[in-house]
Chain A
Amino acid sequence: MKSLLYAVLSLLILSQTVMADDKSAAEEALKSKLEAVLLVLQKEEVEHEAKKKEIIEIVSPIFDFSLMAKLILGRKFWPGLVKEKKERFTELFVKRLKESYLENLTRYTKARIVYNAPIQVKRKIYIPTELISKDDKISMLYKLYKSKHNWKIYDIEIEGVSIVINYRSQVNQILSSGTIDDLLTKLEGPENQ
């Protein structure tokens, strides 16, 4: 009986340790990338476009852009699409997402990031951060999941607004009156179209 109790206790402690490990691993993965991005942003001598290219190279491994595209279409739209359309949508949306992320991030050349304690939600880790610049403070919640190899971002909540759901609402409004081709055509155009 005693041994069973020990076994349960050690399992609990072990799982806590695993959770703690997950949190710090996810935080570490995120932190390393974001700090690298901040360093790039601070480089005054580098051209804007070059900065963008460099940032994309840094963040691409941690962002699961394909998953984000899939989640944006959601279980209502995604399964109904043929493979080619899925690929085309993913390709266009990843491009759009990257552009949007860069556009917003490159405004903050002299910013710092404060990391708050990570939160475990089921098998995912949410890392609340604050992007602090001279006259603004934006709360950003990075949502990560453990892919086959490493921790990856699948959504960011900016001031409480999820970018996946936000894009999904745009997709919904296009699909409510048009077809998937209309959506693809719009994505091919400029962002504010």
Chain B
Amino acid sequence: MTKLHSLARHFFDKVILDRPGLVIICLLLVVAFLGYKAKDFRLDASAETLVLQNDKGLRYSRLIDSRYGLQDYLLMTYASKDDLFSDKVLANLTRLRDELKQLDRVSSVVSILDVPLLESPPGPVKELLSNIQTLESPTVDKKLARIEFSNSPLYQNVLVSPDLKTTALQIKFPIDEIYQDLLARRNHFREKQATNRLSAAEVAEFKKVTAQFQKHRDKMKKARHQDIAVIRSIMDNYRQDAELFLGGISMIADDLITFIKNDLKTFGLGVLFFLVVTLGVIFRKLRWIFLPMLCCAFSAISMMGLVGLFGWEITIISSNFISLQLIITMAITIHLIVRYRELHFNNPEAEQRKLILDVVCLMLRPCLYAALTTIAGFGSLLLCDIRPVITFGWMMSAGITVSLAATFLLFPTMLMLMRKGTPEARQNSHFSLTSFLARFTEAHGVMILVVSCITLIISVIGISRLVVENSFIDYFKDKTEIYQGMIVIDQNLGGTTPLDVIIELDKPEALAQKLAPETDAQNDDEFDEFDEFDEARYGDKYWFTSNKMAQVEKIHDYLDSLPETGKVLSLETIMKIAEKLNNGKPLDNFELALLYSKIPNKFKSTVLKPYVSVEHDEVRFSIRVRDSEKSLKRDKLLKKIQHDLISILGLEEEHVHLTGMLVLYNNMLQSLFSSQILTLGVVILALKSMFLILFRSLKIATIAIFPNLLSIGAVLGVMGWLNIPLDMMTITIAAISIGIAVDDTIHYIHRFKQEFRVDRNYINTVYRSHGTIGHANYYKTVTIIIGFSILVLSNFIPSIYFGLLTGLAMLIALIASLTLLPQLLVIFKPFGPEVGVNQ
């Protein structure tokens, strides 16, 4: 008996089983406290939670947002049954816009009603600018306006669809300065903490700022959620006249959370019901339903409390953690139940206390091994630099520990309070799946190896077909409103996902300094006399030169020519209109300066400011990418743009910057891919090392790896063959598969090792192991597969994938642990030679 074993036995015997009531009260107190802390449990899908921990891209994107005055916005599409420019529709739109404008947190609403009409009527630039019309101007010519909207590069695919049937209202929200300030302060401390030690005062301040930041963000998230709800209720009043949809990145983030929460609520109950039914069918006893469910509830509540306590944020990556917690707890509990029933059946006279003590002591080691190995598997997540993934790693490690502790404390103490009851025999043991698989393994050992090899090869080919794509539109079923809205925006209004290309234009100063030594210039008094021409003094208008505009045009046309890009807006958009007004001739420097100085300020902020930063010699190309485009390969597209701008358009590498949501999500996904999939080899090695430590045999460690490989390989292979992309939600399936497969393998090998001692006969041991631990694994698998199968009814595609792929991982892990694993054990005989055959 090892030291650990005797220590555990002593602990359970003298501490836990001696005072079960007290232990339960303590557990209840802990759970009550953690349950209270669970109020801080939060689910977040905002950009902040979905980007790399040290992502320079996020900081740059924020900088660009503030430099170009970019505000968060929602897009409302309005497809009228009547003519869009009829008085009735325009009156409806006016009413709708005014209602939206009146919302407290809406800073402005941009619609076809209030944008400047630049070609209605067309005329000289100077004249036009002195009297800019809008659709609301009393003297506007609506016929001309209709023509302008149908052709205008500035408005078509932005505010109106090319067929003029759908229009969009851009609902803008003010820049949240408190958020920006708190964020900057928090990041300052985070960075300082990473490089230096913080002083005690700084630690306190950091804590305070972090708390304030989270509080403010929660408040704003709630506010945005309310705004979206109010906007949707306003939309309802217009649905009799038009088809309305709401879109925009912040709505997608909000809806993602809503979908995940709804799934948790609706399917949480469904999963619970299915688990109860399956446990009932398998064990046919109330206590074997009640105890697993109680353990699951305790560990889930405790974990939610810990999440709240540590301030971990649940993102869409970690949104599956409750399900995983249930799976892990259920697995441990079923192992305990099956072992208890087995001991009870074999020793009907034994005392309840002794039975319980034997169960916990016998199962502690394999359960601990499985938990430690799974922690090692999830520990790989800590190595990557994506905050939500690291958090997910910590959460899973903590979750497994919580499950183990809660189950090993609750199960024995609760059972102590129950009567022993009559021993339960397993039914139909000869015809059960496990005994069938035992016979099958004995009879078709070679076939198992061949089939496993073929499966592995097919899986590897499947894995090679895996694509890494994050398409939000594919998260939702096509009948959902969010999907339909995204399709409308994608196909009629220029695309969904924002991508910004920022180009720094050449600075003439650099060359000038090469030409002219400073001293000469300083000595020339004449320049001092005419210091009004010093560059710092003259205005922005002279920044606009025909050379720059030609460069902007080239870049704009290139970006527009890409099939994946929807609407591209830049300085070139307004230049195209100006050129048209200038009788088709490009504007020269003088005309450009004139145009700039004559545009009224209120229009400058909409037509110029978002696309140019004179101060930084920089232009911005605002692109919306069509998310529904099936051929869209996001990472490839970004690389292509970067490459082409440098090598084809001849821009300097350091002058080209890609940013925006598409880039941020892509960075995150690529990093996730490299940390999850490319390091699978490292994870496998880590598992092997764990097996080596646990079983102290290289042979066993090597054998144990194969069922795990098969399980992960099959799941990823199926995803590859079925063209299921690895996205932010499905990518964690690999880690989950490892967790599931490891449990089956460790329990089986551990039991095999024990059973082998009985007669030192491998085939006999296979039968005995299948008949004991095989059953536990089988029950566990069936319970979880059935329990989670209900997720296929979700409207949220990642939930469906989660349900199906988890089930698949469990099934493959079960089959592999009951066929391939015993076959490998029989062939390689890692526990030493046999002593005769007497089956």
B597 partner residues in chain A, CB cutoff 8 A: 159-161
CA distance A116 to B593 in the complex (A): 24
Question: At the interface with chain A, which of B197-205, B357-365, B524-532, B787-795?
Answer: B524-532
A161 partner residues in chain B, CB cutoff 8 A: 541-542, 590, 593-594, 597
Known contacts A80-B516, A161-B594, A169-B545: does B511 contact A74 (CB below 8 Å)? no
B513 partner residues in chain A, CB cutoff 8 A: 76
Contact of B521 among A67, A79, A166, A169 (CB under 8 A): A79
On whether the beta carbons of A78 and B508 are closer than 8 Å, the reply is no
On whether the beta carbons of A77 and B516 are closer than 8 Å, the reply is yes
On whether the beta carbons of B547 and A173 are closer than 8 Å, the reply is yes
Known contacts A154-B530, A159-B594, A162-B538: does B589 contact A175 (CB below 8 Å)? no
Q: Does B533 contact A (CB under 8 A)?
A: yes
List B587-623 residues whose CB lies under 8 Å from chain A: 589-590, 593-594, 597-598
Q: Does B176 contact A (CB under 8 A)?
A: no
Q: Does A172 contact B (CB under 8 A)?
A: yes
Residue interface mask A138-171, B partner, CB < 8 A = 1:
0000000100000000110011111111101110
Known contacts A67-B526, A162-B538, A165-B538: does B512 contact A175 (CB below 8 Å)? yes
Distance to closest chain B CB from A44 (angstroms): 27
On whether the beta carbons of B533 and A164 are closer than 8 Å, the reply is yes
CA distance A71 to B546 in the complex (A): 21
Q: Does B548 contact A (CB under 8 A)?
A: yes
On whether the beta carbons of A172 and B508 are closer than 8 Å, the reply is yes
Distance to closest chain A CB from B595 (angstroms): 10
Residue interface mask B500-521, A partner, CB < 8 A = 1:
0000001111011101110011
Q: Does B126 contact A (CB under 8 A)?
A: yes
Q: Does A3 contact B (CB under 8 A)?
A: no
A163 partner residues in chain B, CB cutoff 8 A: 590
On whether the beta carbons of A168 and B590 are closer than 8 Å, the reply is no
Known contacts A154-B530, A164-B533, A177-B506: does B517 contact A79 (CB below 8 Å)? yes
Contact of A175 among B508, B521, B535, B598 (CB under 8 A): B508
CA distance A123 to B517 in the complex (A): 29
List B527-580 residues whose CB lies under 8 Å from chain A: 527, 529-530, 532-535, 538, 541-543, 545-548
B593 partner residues in chain A, CB cutoff 8 A: 161, 165-166, 169
List A70-126 residues whose CB lies under 8 Å from chain B: 70-71, 74-81, 121, 123
CA distance A18 to B593 in the complex (A): 36
Distance to closest chain A CB from B95 (angstroms): 40
CA distance A123 to B84 in the complex (A): 60
On whether the beta carbons of B515 and A80 are closer than 8 Å, the reply is yes
Among residues of B, the one whose C-beta sits closest to the C-beta of A138 is B126
Distance to closest chain B CB from A166 (angstroms): 5
CA distance A175 to B514 in the complex (A): 11
A162 partner residues in chain B, CB cutoff 8 A: 533, 538, 542
Distance to closest chain B CB from A114 (angstroms): 18
Among residues of A, the one whose C-beta sits closest to the C-beta of B506 is A176
Chain A to chain B: the 3 pairs with minimum beta-carbon distance, closest first:
A80-B516, A79-B520, A80-B515
What residues of chain A have their CB less than 8 Å away from a CB belonging to chain B? 67, 70-71, 74-81, 121, 123, 145, 154-155, 158-166, 168-170, 172-177, 180
24 contacts between A and B (CB under 8 A): A75-B516, A75-B524, A77-B516, A78-B521, A79-B516, A80-B512, A123-B529, A145-B529, A155-B533, A161-B542, A161-B593, A162-B533, A162-B542, A165-B542, A168-B542, A169-B542, A169-B543, A170-B589, A173-B545, A175-B515, A176-B508, A176-B511, A176-B547, A177-B506
What residues of chain B have their CB less than 8 Å away from a CB belonging to chain A? 126, 506-509, 511-513, 515-517, 520-521, 523-524, 526-527, 529-530, 532-535, 538, 541-543, 545-548, 589-590, 593-594, 597-598
